[in-house]
Amino acid sequence: MATVQVGFHVDGDVWEPEQITGVEDAGFDILTTGEHIIFFRPILDTVTVLSYAAAVTKRIKLVPSTLILPLRHPTLMAKELTSIDILSKGRLIASVGIGGDYPREFDACGISMKERGVRANEGIEIMRKYWSGERFDYHGKIFQLDDVDMLPPPYQKGGPPLWVCGRSDPAMRRAARLGDGWQPYMYTPDLLKESVDKVHGFADEIGRRLPEDFAFTSFVYVSMHDDVQEARDRAIEQLSYRFNMPFEKIVDKYCAYGPSDRIIENLAEYVASGANHLIVALVMPPEERMDYVEKFATEILPALQQMKTP
């Protein structure tokens, strides 16, 4: 029985090199960053941020959380991810989803929202073929490729592990068929448990036996404060901004908040529901971020990393 892997989310704003290395030095297993091309608030490009992080770290795994795959051609995406995998010496995990929560960026990239699922499925298949190191042809509904290959191959044989992100049954089917992991977001522990069962069920339907190291991941916002109401209020303010929508009525479902022991209890529910990876995004003022990283690493992280996976 393995222990839980814990990731830290950098939310697309500027982090200095010493702050990135500070996250690694604090003991986190994974560093993630988000993705939007056109968005209502400032956010950096995830590939660039992960390349930057790869250059200043040595141990921590790197995850784009989450690449909106339909917005990118899989040939270019495969090349960029291969390059990060090589430069990081095999520390990359690719997490991909279909997006759609902000249609303006699909319009800006000239991509039809109706093609998201097909583009994601074909994109995953094509990247896998590139990462095999063999020459291949591919003739799908969207992409047509003849006699292509890609060198150099990824550092990790067969390419980086690939997690599928989403919330819907089609996303779970995609994870069961094509993924090395399942990464839902804005999920309660009960929803996570239901999705873990569904992914296993969808894999059984196609005769696939999920590997023992298949990643079941939960992305959870965390607001730390000894006063529970203050922690909740801060979460509502920050998450309402991040998602451009009121969070008053849903913050209790999607955010762990309060003192450290309360947060540990909340996150333990996700582990009990099947999570073997936890990605945490801290609600914190930018000017105090390293204090928050240290507090989480001291008071919460050790307890999470000692938890046994189901």
CATH number at residue 118: 3.20.20.30
For the segment 167-223, what is each residue's pLDDT rounded down to a tens digit?
999 999 999 999 999 999 999 999 999 999 999 999 999 999 999 999 999 999 999
Looking at the predicted structure, is the pLDDT value of residue 256 above 90? yes
> Would 89 be classed as within a structural domain?
yes
pLDDT category, 159, cuts 50, 70, 90?
Answer: very high
Q: Identify the domain containing residue 203 by its residue range.
A: 5-305
DSSP 207-253: T----TT-EEEEEEEEEE-SSHHHHHHHHHHHHHHHHTS--TTTHHH
For the segment 28-63, what is each residue's pLDDT rounded down to a tens digit?
999 999 999 999 999 999 999 999 999 999 999 999
pLDDT category, 11, cuts 50, 70, 90?
Answer: confident
pLDDT category, 310, cuts 50, 70, 90?
Answer: confident
Phi, psi of 247 (to 5 degrees): -115, 0
Phi, psi of 281 (to 5 degrees): -120, 115
Domain count, the chain: 1
For the segment 89-126, what is each residue's pLDDT rounded down to a tens digit?
999 999 999 999 999 999 999 999 999 999 999 999 99
> Would 310 be classed as within a structural domain?
no
> Would 103 be classed as within a structural domain?
yes
pLDDT at position 1 is 67
Tell me whether strands 5-10 and 30-33 are parallel, antiparallel or unpaired: parallel
